[in-house]
Structure 1
Amino acid sequence: MSTSLLKKAYDSSLFKKEGTDLVNQISQYLSDTTFGKSEKVITWTTPEDEYHFWKEYISDTHTTSDFFKTVIARSIHTHHPKYIGHQVAPTVPVSALATLLSAQLNNGMAVYEMGAASTALERLIIEQFAKVIGFENGDGFLTSGGTLANLTALLAARRVMAKDDVWNEGHSSKLAIMVSEEAHYCVDRAARIMGLGSDGIIKVPVDDTYKMRTELLDSYYDSVVEKGYEVIAIVGSAPSTSTGVYDDLEEIYAFAKAKKVWFHIDAAHGGAAIFSPKYKHLLNGADKADSIIIDGHKMMGTSALATAVVFKESTASYATFEQKAQYLWEKNEDADWFNLAKRTFECTKSMMSLRFYAIINAYGVQFFDDFVTTLYDAGKEFGDLVKQQEDFEIALDPVSNIVCFRYKTSTGDINLVNQSIRKALLEDGEFYIVGTSLRGEFYLRTTFMNPFTTRTHSLRLLNLIREVAKALISVS
């Protein structure tokens, strides 16, 4: 067998050539998108058309440069100021470079010797989170996304709070968690993975502002206990994904303390507001939580995936997993903060800490304040603009960078009209926004993720929606 192909694949000079070309392409992409030089955020294709394009593409020979160029052209441009859709950050370039480095080094991080630098950096990052949250004895780790982070925290809650040793002995009693009906679907999914079932997920109604109705907590708790369930945790949303509204964390804590249940906060999207003096009040009560998760790839500018799972007490961060893997570490009874496979789902865990630390190293923690505050200000400014338009209505006053609104019409079904507007905008590609359903009503939904999205962009979006709506109505 010849090794010539292997030598070519690992050739450092080839990497330098192709890497330099890629950096130049990304640099051009950033120049074209970040300040809005390119016309479109997305060039829409149907799933089948995209599949067949790539099926044909791989049947031919292309240079690496051409392949990368094609991927960029056919991908959504999250760095464009007219990308106002899903909660994905326009990655800070230095964080992307850190991700490139971690991908090439490929340190698995299950045990310390497989990722010494990134393991130590991860501890420093978690200490920074714990400090700003207000956890004096806090500890935790980084994991791959909010869904996995919420599951890990709730498993810790089960281990600490449940009367049974579920991990080793399985379920012998019915367990339940309490959560807002507006909570992210991943909390529901985590509860089902844990075996709680539909009846073990107690969804508390929200008020007119979409906050959890904390005055109902006692009655909902009593009702589920009467049915033979053991409530182990309550989850606060900070904020809910659909509306960007924060639950009253102080009130939830008071309930959790009175009932002796675990208090967890899903702050995947809005936890980074803790770094903003202007908006940190939205997280009042976070310092009293037993656990909290915060995504770096949403409101902190890191590349995906990178989520902090932070526990108020250090010992709780070890509670989820107790299985032995003696070939990885010698004394399972020791805390061994540096052997991260003891605390996370991942064994081969990526070097996520580099994505955070590269930003802090380059720009300081102040960057996170500037980033969050700018985006939350943009959301509130857009909400004010919508309220000034006679032909638009807003679902509720925004408190974060998420705004739900819609075009008003006296002709046709308002829900169908706005759904058609959303579809038309997607196919047009100049802007990217999404939609959501609130109490059975369809609303357009914007999430301001780019700090360079201006009032001019917002006004253009409203005018474009108006144009699209009138065209749709005229042909209906």
Structure 2
Amino acid sequence: MNGATNITPDLSMNGSSTTNGYHTNGIHTTNGAHTNSVHTTNGTHMNGNASNGTSSADIIKKLKLDISSNGVQNGSSHAGNHVFDDGALLQKILEITNREKLVAGMTEKEKVVEFRQPEELKALLELSIERSGCSNDELDEIMEKVVKYSVRTQHPHFYNQLYGGIDEVGLGGAWLTEALNTNQYTFEVAPVFLLVEQFVMQWMVELLGWQDGDGIFAPGGSISNMYGLVLARYQRHPEVKKQGIFGMKPLTAFVSDQSHYSISKSANWLGIGMDHVIKVPSDDQGKMIPSELKKAIEVSRDDGCEPFFVCATAGTTVLGAYDDLEAISQICTKEKMWLHVDGCWGGSAMLSQKHKHLLNGIDKVDSIAWNPHKMLGASLQCSCFVTRHKRLLQESNSANASYLFQQDKYYDVSYDTGDKSIQCGRKVDAFKLWFMLRVYGLDKCEKKVDAAFDAARHLHSEVVRRSGFRSVLPSYQCTNVGFWYIPPSLQNRTENQEWWKKLSEVAPAIKARMVKDGTLMIGYQPLSNKNYVNFFRMVTTGTPTPTSQHMDFVLDEIERLGNDL
């Protein structure tokens, strides 16, 4: 900011003098330009008379050219002592992305993670913030460390969560939206992206088999699920929007005992109360039992509560179960209750001719949440909520802010859709999905889904075939595969309580070893309501494309890591 000027041309915020230089707050230039100057010789004033006929636009154009060709010295401009060259920053990031294969091309030769304990990692990262910026060398070091110690979700052996690597086209769409840096609330500031979101929502409505509908992209599946509760409550009691829930009969919502915790969290936020989220028993496969749902509704009503909402799941988090939407929808129709589907994980099956039967009955539900950032590989985050009720999003959420949603604008204000969101600022997530669908076409997206299912089926068959492995369930509906590895020390032993206790320690021990070696990342957990001790929960996604060889490696590596336990 205050350095001498040895670089030509120079852009300085507070320098003293330049030759053929540019100042925004300088005193004098020779053949220079000022934005707030006193005098120039053959120069130009931004707030004065131009002695040589040069316009402000010419100066700005010249400044932009100089910045693009030479880079901005964001601080002291002495060669070798300046802070980062932001003209080259994005190029460096692209180079690192390609060199480290963060988007495509990563193989088993690279580590999934270079694990460090939290305190050690904190020291390595040097997180302190100084008054002065960082140098180019320091910037390079920062970026290298961020990449080195982050989890490589693009790695073919990252199976830890319900998402995988990022799709290249999805990333391209994300980069465009980030660079354009706008908000998804009015046509005024996001004309292209508003139209894209509306198109995607209409496409979703048709895909689900509905005659009409509406939708919105939300910051993750938990918020998408919460929209279902918000709309269901508003439809039942529209007065709640202004008067609140005080004095009302307690509302009750129903989920399976294998459902995602987001419904309980939403009940907390909305004043419904976590105790009023009733968990319905599931069968051996993890699917909600419709007859148990009927009983639970009757009990709740007898207790003086008002049942109003059911959340079925299309692809549960752990066992990958798809609830019977046909049977549950019949119950909800009879009871006049809203039926929402948490399809965040397994909803992608609707893109596949082979697997869309798993969502039979989806045309009869009131709403659905779906996360394309999971099985499809759109960049995090990309989550949508869709409802068959056309105007309910707007009615339940609108606040009519006059400074944003004026009704006398210079265009059709029906395209200003931001008031139907619970947010004000909202990222442009719809474009990432549309960009993938438009570039690839539906056929390739279908192949992504099918590849994930095929890999999971191969893995399960190998678990069943190999000695030392045992499947938690006889079969799976989604791409989840739960299994135990039984080391030689526990094979051919009486499977009593002590045996199961020891088996429960195997998965955590192997997980620690695989992470420290960096060869593999798979989740594990117990399932207490099914009396299952710790087991591996393997999940496959469509990005990067999983293969049978990848699945074989998983089992080989687990056996290698746990053989001596």
TM-score (norm 2): 0.78
Distance of aligned partners of 1:319 and 1:435 in 2 relative to their CA distance in 1, 3 Å threshold: farther
Hey, what's the Cα distance between the residues in 2 that align with 1:459 and 1:37? 13
Question: Is the counterpart of residue 138 in structure 1 residue 209 in structure 2?
Answer: no
Does 2:477 correspond to 1:399?
yes
State the distance in 1 between where 2:402 and 2:129 align. Answer: 44
- Shift of residue 58 of structure 1? 6.0
Q: How does 1:268-283 map to 2 (within 5 A)?
A: 268-283=344-359
User: Do the aligned partners of 1:293 and 1:307 also contact (CA within 8 Å) in 2?
Assistant: yes
Match of 2:240 among 150, 153, 166: 166
Could you list the per-position Cα deviations for residues 57-111 of structure 1 after superposition, in whole angstroms to 9, with x for gaps in the alignment? 7677445444333222211111111112201231111221221221121111222
Within 1, Cα distance between the matches of 2:68 and 2:278?
A: 56
Whichever residue aligns with residue 462 of structure 2, its letter is L
The question of 1:422 aligning with 2:507 is answered: no
Matches within 5 A, 1:49-198: 49-55=120-126, 61=135, 62-162=137-237, 165-171=239-245, 172-173=247-248, 174-198=250-274
Deviations 1:395-449 (A, max 9, x none): 1112221111111256351101222122222222101111122234211111112
Deviation at 1:338, TM superposition (A): 2.3
SS at match of 1:435: strand
Equivalent residue, structure 2, for 1:376: 453
SS in 2 for 1:127: helix
Which of 508, 526, 536 matches 1:444? 536
2:41 aligned residue:
none
Q: Does 1:461 align with 2:536?
A: no
Q: Equivalent of 1:343, from 393, 405, 420? A: 420
For 1:298, the equivalent position in structure 2 comes to 374
TM-aligned CA deviation for residue 32 of structure 1: 8.8
Secondary structure of 2:306's aligned partner: strand
Alignment of 1:228-243 (within 5 A): 228-243=304-319
Deviates more, 1:440-449 or 1:180-189: 440-449
Match of 2:12 in 1: 4
CA distance in 2, matches of 1:102, 1:88: 21
Partner of residue 23 from structure 1, selected from 73, 90, 94: 94
CA contact (8 A) 2:308 2:337 kept: yes
Match of 1:398, as an amino acid? Y
Q: Give yes or no for the alignment of 1:356 onto 2:433.
A: yes
Distance 1:451 1:337, change over 3 A: farther
Report deviation, 1:131: 1.4
**Cα gap change, 1:32 to 1:121, in 2 (>3 Å):** closer
Do 1:140 and 1:308's aligned partners in 2 also have CA atoms closer than 8 Å? yes
Question: Contact 1:266/1:292 (CA < 8 Å) preserved in 2?
Answer: yes
Partners in 2 of 1:431 and 1:468 — Cα distance?
11
User: In the aligned structure 2, how far is the partner of 1:278 from the partner of 1:284?
Assistant: 12
Distance in 1 (CA, whole Å) between partners of 2:150 and 2:435 is 25
Which of 290, 297, 312 is residue 221 of structure 1 equivalent to? 297
Moved more, 215-224 or 68-77: 68-77
Q: Which amino acid aligns with 1:423?
A: A
1:336 is displaced (CA, Å) by 5.3
Q: 1:286 aligns with which of 354, 362, 365?
A: 362
Partner of 1:328: 404
Alpha-carbon displacement from aligned partner over 1:368-396 (angstroms, at most 9, x marks no partner): 21111110111111111101112111111
Q: Equivalent pairs: percent with the same residue?
A: 25
Q: Which residue of 2 aligns with 1:204?
A: 280
Distance 1:56 1:329, change over 3 A: closer
Report the equivalent of 2:79. none
Task: Give the counterpart letter for 1:424 in structure 2.
Answer: R
1:56 CA displacement? 5.6
* CA distance in 2: counterparts of 1:260 and 1:4, whole angstroms: 68
Q: Does structure 1 retain, via aligned residues, the 8 Å contact 2:352–2:449?
A: yes
* Distance in 2 between residues matched to 1:233 and 1:286, nearest whole Å: 16
**1:67 to 1:437, Cα distance in 2 relative to 1, 3 A:** same
Larger displacement relative to structure 2 (352-361 or 264-273): 352-361
Q: Which runs of 5+ in 1 are unaligned?
A: none
Tell me the alpha carbon deviations over residues 22-50 of structure 1, each in whole angstroms, 9 at most, x when there is no partner. 22221233379645153311111122222
Shift of 1:328: 1.1
Residue 470 of structure 1: aligned partner: 563
Q: Which moved more, 1:255-264 or 1:196-205?
A: 196-205
When residues 336 and 225 of structure 1 are mapped into structure 2, their CA distance, relative to the original with a 3 A threshold, is farther
**1:377 counterpart letter in structure 2:** D
Q: How much does 1:465 deviate?
A: 1.3
For residues 37 and 406 of structure 1, the distance between their equivalents in structure 2, rounded to whole angstroms, comes to: 23
After superposition, the Cα gap between the structure-2 partners of 1:12 and 1:180, relative to the gap in structure 1 and judged at 3 Å, is farther
In structure 2, give the amino acid aligned to 1:428.
D
One-letter code aligned to 2:204: F
CA contact (8 A) 1:272 1:368 kept: no
Higher CA-based Rg: 2
Q: Are the equivalent residues in 2 in contact too, given 1:34–1:81 (CA < 8 A)? A: no
Q: Distance in 2 between matches of 1:152 and 1:435?
A: 30
Comparing both structures, which one devotes a greater share of its residues to helix?
Answer: 1
Deviation of residue 285 (structure 1)? 0.9
Cα deviation, residue 331, structure 1: 4.4
Q: Aligned partners of 1:352 and 1:212: how far apart in 2?
A: 31
- The whole-number CA distance in structure 2 between the counterparts of 1:330 and 1:35 is 50
Which residue pairs with 2:47 in the alignment? none
Higher deviation after alignment, 368-377 or 96-105:
96-105
* Aligned counterparts of 1:104 and 1:347: Cα–Cα separation in 2: 20
The residue identity in structure 2 corresponding to 1:40 is K
**1:248 aligned partner:** 324
- Tell me how far apart the structure 1 counterparts of residues 183 and 345 of structure 2 sit (CA, whole Å): 27
- Give the AA of the match of 1:158: R
Alignment CA distance shift 1:11-1:249 (3 Å): farther
Cα separation, 2, equivalents of 1:329 and 1:149: 23
C-alpha distance in 2, partners of 1:301/1:47? 28
2:159 partner SS: coil
The 2-side partners of 1:230 and 1:277 are apart by 39
Q: Which amino acid aligns with 2:546?
A: T
- The answer to whether the Cα contact below 8 Å between 1:179 and 1:202 also exists between their aligned partners in 2 is yes
